[in-house]
Amino acid sequence: MKKPIKKKIFSFINHLTTVVLFLLLASMLFFVISSKASGGEPEIFGYQLKTVLSGSMEPGIKTGSIIAVKPGGDMTRFKQDDVITFMEEDGKLITHRITEVVANGDSVMYRTKGDNNNAEDINPVLSENVVAEYTGFTIPYVGYVINFSQSQNGAFLLLIPGILLIGYAGITIWRAIREIELPKENVKEEEKSVV
């Protein structure tokens, strides 16, 4: 009676390991392909995923989170309290809250501030420098994994689940073939004993 229970437990662990490795490999593959296709930023259904590298918007957006932002549209449409992602002069992306909208003729500028910062940002943001609007969707700590996966060491370590999955698939196929061959050998032996 102990053998069937052990066999069921082993079978369950076997299937669970396969599913976990497959999901991990598929998600990493998705992030790599979407990053390359969109020029470096993963994109899902028109929303870009950005990694938060500072605590300027805490506690709402924690350091190491990934956030979903919606790019495109009229960048002069934003109002006070909207959270926008914009590009600074040095090419760095910042996500901060609008504290004031300054309209001057055809041009629109935004004064911004991080929720966790004591003062507004020094330079106002031109509407042309706004990249996207924050949608309110955030997943804590996943950004650390994405940043690590983009490093050379991270890319190497993320190959390990793929290698494990391929090795495990090979072992499973070998076992299946072996189980198919065993009944054939038994049938041949029975035929020999009958003759």
Catalytic residues: 54
Q: Which residues pair with 31 in a beta bridge?
A: none
CB-based contact 87:50 (threshold 8 Å): no
For the chain, give the longest Cα–Cα distance.
Answer: 102
Q: Which residues pair with 97 in a beta bridge?
A: 83, 113
CA-based nearest residue to 146, from 65, 69, 91, 85: 65
What are the C-alpha distances in Å from 166 to residues 154, 160, 162? Answer: 19, 10, 6
Pairwise CA distance, residues 127 & 11, whole Å: 58
